Amino acid sequence: MNTLRSELKASFAFVERNFNLARRYASWEIIFISWNVVHALTIGLIGVFMAGDDPQKVQESVLFLIVGAVLWNFLRLLFFEVADAVAWERWEGTIEYTFMAPVYRLTHLAGQCLYAIVYGFLRSGIVLVSAVMFFDLSLDGGNLTTAAVVLAASSLSFLGLGLIAAVFPLLSPEKGARATDILGTLFLLISGVYYDVSVLPDWLRPLSTVSPGTYALRSIRGALLHGATIEQVSEDLWILLGTGAIMIPLGLWIFHIAEVYAKKTGRLKRSG
């Protein structure tokens, strides 16, 4: 029991460290959040342009795109946060000290993932509120409870993917972050972030079924646009939970293998 308590305290210490880093570079965080807001508004204006003069069609079109932009910002943050933490520590030259710290790697990564979830909810909430106010959107017919539950379930899968993506900057300080971007862009393509996956070419459409983003987007759009209940999206919800239950242990295992390899080959040095 004491061991569990100490490991939980250690995990929260990593959460606290990351929030302290965010506060230290608060001006950059404001810039990044502002960019997220501007990006979402730009995507929403495309919906206004395409919908024409019908107010109801404008509402549905803009909300469809805004949900995609906000959710992708959230999932992208989860996906990249662990990888960015590795890249940041390599740049600072502290990654060897972190890996030598007397804490389990699970404790370390759990703290990183918990920070990503909390920070992701805060950042996505700011973007969503900004978009609702800018476009005067109405969420009266939406089911916010269902949307929040699906969002939480989808975070598990993308955290697992984030652990796998963190291998790239761990092994290659020069090009690893670029590889993470490429993998993230692939999920952007096949998940239907700004369109329904039915418009994908026949040869590409099957890949959308392996992306947790596809099920998260479909369910959250159903919740916010049509008021879908948890029961109505339960099939997607179970898929997201099952995928998360697979991806997180898989991500931890792959990260462990990459860490052992990096230590044996001396790849943790800042010089690469």
Instruction: List per-residue pLDDT tens for the chain, 272 residues long.
Output: 667 677 777 778 878 887 887 888 889 889 989 998 999 999 999 988 887 777 778 888 888 899 888 888 887 787 777 777 777 676 666 666 676 777 777 777 778 788 888 888 888 889 988 998 998 887 777 888 998 899 888 888 888 888 888 787 777 766 666 777 777 788 888 988 888 888 899 998 899 998 898 999 999 999 988 889 999 999 999 999 999 899 888 988 988 888 888 777 776 665 54
Confirm whether 272 is domain-assigned: no
d(CA 84, CA 235): 32
For Cα atoms 194, 74, 223, give the angle at the middle one, nearest 5 degrees.
65
Domain that holds residue 225: 2-265
Confirm whether 241 is domain-assigned: yes
Confirm whether 270 is domain-assigned: no
Cα–Cα nearest to 167, from 58, 53, 51, 82? 82
For Cα atoms 77, 40, 43, give the angle at the middle one, nearest 5 degrees.
125
Confirm whether 180 is domain-assigned: yes
Residue 200: Cβ within 10 Å count: 16
- For residue 177, the model assigns a pLDDT of 67
- For residue 272, the model assigns a pLDDT of 43
Confirm whether 245 is domain-assigned: yes
Total domain count, the chain:
1
250: CB partners within 8 A, 6+ apart: 160, 164
- For residue 176, the model assigns a pLDDT of 65
Q: Report yes or no: 153 and 244 within 8 Å, Cβ to Cβ.
A: yes
Amino acid at 40: A
Q: Report yes or no: 182 and 158 within 8 Å, Cβ to Cβ.
A: no
- For residue 265, the model assigns a pLDDT of 77
Confirm whether 223 is domain-assigned: yes
- For residue 174, the model assigns a pLDDT of 64
Phi-psi region of 143 (alpha: psi -120 to 50; beta: other; left: phi over 0): beta
Confirm whether 271 is domain-assigned: no
Confirm whether 219 is domain-assigned: yes
Taking the whole predicted model, whether its pTM rises above 0.85 is answered as no
